[in-house]
Structure 1
Amino acid sequence: MPRDHQRPVLLPTADFDWIIGSDEPGAAHRIAQETSWALLDRVRSVADPAVVERVVGLAANDGIDDIAELWATAGPHSLAGMLWRLYLLRRVAAVDAEGTADMFRRGAEAAVTIDPVVAGAAEPVTPDSIVALCDTILRGVYAGDLASALDRAASYCRLMALGAASLADSRDEHDDAHAAELTTRALRYSAFANELHAGARRWREGSLD
């Protein structure tokens, strides 16, 4: 058991690859583990909706920088790594809500799986609803079943990967560089989907670090 069609704006690679340095081997990993579990345990134990909303809202302001410093290098086998990926998805959606909504819609149209149902975006998919979806996924971490939240995020990422690939195909004949950027983004979302799905399994097995 677990522990108690406008061209979309592409974020710089740094937004996906923030790193933390340390002079002590293993220090960053230990800090990431301790802070992520402490936050999760604290918010769940309090069970106060206002506290949940404040923690969910970290991605909407400068709190994302503090999260990045603590968790950005945490691996996908860890709770910190899972939380970082969820907060990053929320931040990306906030920075380019219109482009993210467009990418999601394209992915949902191309999907032949139940991922649109699992992700559960409100229809019609709008910039506001896509940000709200990311908030709902994060809220599920602190006030619901974490494994279900991770599975929902994995479905979201699979749809985003499909949407990015679709946009890459449409741009291929007109802008090779932009198409290449979109293809890279599709691969990144696909990797996130696999990691989040594996994280959900680890949570259920009680093996998430």
Structure 2
Amino acid sequence: MDDHRLPRRPAMLDPRDADAIPGELDPAMRDEVAHVTARILVDRARSTEDPEVVDRLVRLVEREGLDTVAELWADAAPSSLPGALWRIYVLREWVRRDLQTILLRYRLGVDAAPVSEAVAGVPSPPEPADLRRLADAVLSGVFTGDLAVALERAGAFCRILSTGAAFDADAREHSDPHAATRMTRGASSLLRTAEELEHAAELWRQGILE
């Protein structure tokens, strides 16, 4: 982001940790803050059995705003814990804000990606509520289950959406070539995100996702 406003502290960040975050950060400090805050959230969630804590974390963007979370994690490397968390939060927010587009892309892509469908774990044919539940379940899995599996599910979801976006682009190529070009680029971006999440899962299993 272009400005350097002090981020409002996420709901699960201890005030002592938040007070240590200065308003203007150089790139090295921003990276350190991203890693520390991501680790704090994940470790604290995994140390509690309180479902309300997990629910608050799943709904972090709704409570604090996407810009606040972006201040902390958007610049983090994809092969890092904060970078992976950022991608999953953005994916959930996309589902929340543009469910009909997500549903269309998923339905277009799912038949061509049966392995990804199995990993994502969405009933076929999917209904809107199924995709909402998937987005919430992936984030819940980050904080309570096998984080690598949660990352793989998010990656599989992105692969299906990427395939659906590519099919949608093909269908619009003649009637709206500009929209088709945008969708093709979006499909490529989704595929790259899928690969980044899957790589993050591998790093977590090796114990080196920091």
Q: Is the 8 A contact 2:107 2:125 kept in 1?
A: no
Q: Give 1:43 shift.
A: 0.8
Q: Is the 8 A contact 2:168 2:180 kept in 1?
A: yes
Q: Give 1:23 shift.
A: 4.5
Q: Give 1:81 shift.
A: 0.3
Q: Give 1:127 shift.
A: 2.2
- Provide the residue aligned with 2:162 in structure 1: 161
Greater Cα shift, 46-55 or 58-67: 58-67
Q: Measure, in 2, the Cα distance between the counterparts of 1:20 and 1:172.
A: 38
- Structure 1: gaps (5+ residues): 1-17
Provide Cα deviations, 1:146-174, integer angstroms capped at 9, x if missing partner.
00000111111110100000000001010
SS of 2:79's partner is coil
Q: Measure, in 2, the Cα distance between the counterparts of 1:19 and 1:119.
A: 35
Higher relative CO (Cα under 8 Å, sequence separation at least 6) belongs to 1
Q: Measure, in 2, the Cα distance between the counterparts of 1:20 and 1:76.
A: 22
Q: Is the 8 A contact 1:140 1:149 kept in 2?
A: yes
Q: Measure, in 2, the Cα distance between the counterparts of 1:83 and 1:181.
A: 25
Q: Is the 8 A contact 2:103 2:128 kept in 1?
A: yes
Q: Is the 8 A contact 1:20 1:73 kept in 2?
A: no
Provide Cα deviations, 1:80-139, integer angstroms capped at 9, x if missing partner.
00000000000111111011011011110222x411111011343122221211111111
Map 1:121-160; keep pairs closer than 5 Å.
121-160=122-161
> Which amino acid is 1:91 matched to?
E
Q: Is the 8 A contact 1:19 1:68 kept in 2?
A: no
- Please report the TM-score for the alignment, with normalisation by the length of structure 2: 0.86
The two structures, once aligned, show a CA RMSD in angstroms of 1.5
- Please report the TM-score for the alignment, with normalisation by the length of structure 1: 0.87
State which structure, 1 or 2, has the greater radius of gyration over its C-alpha atoms: 2
- Provide the residue aligned with 1:52 in structure 2: 54
User: Is residue 89 of structure 2 the alignment partner of residue 87 of structure 1?
Assistant: yes
Q: Measure, in 2, the Cα distance between the counterparts of 1:126 and 1:46.
A: 32
Q: Give 1:20 shift.
A: 7.0
Q: Measure, in 1, the Cα distance between the counterparts of 2:96 and 2:122.
A: 15
> Which amino acid is 2:48 matched to?
V
- Structure 2: gaps (5+ residues): 5-23
> Which amino acid is 1:153 matched to?
A
State percent identity of aligned pairs: 40
Q: Measure, in 2, the Cα distance between the counterparts of 1:139 and 1:123.
A: 22
- Provide the residue aligned with 1:115 in structure 2: 116
Q: Measure, in 2, the Cα distance between the counterparts of 1:136 and 1:179.
A: 31
Provide Cα deviations, 1:36-70, integer angstroms capped at 9, x if missing partner.
00000011101211110111012334433221110
Q: Is the 8 A contact 1:19 1:72 kept in 2?
A: no
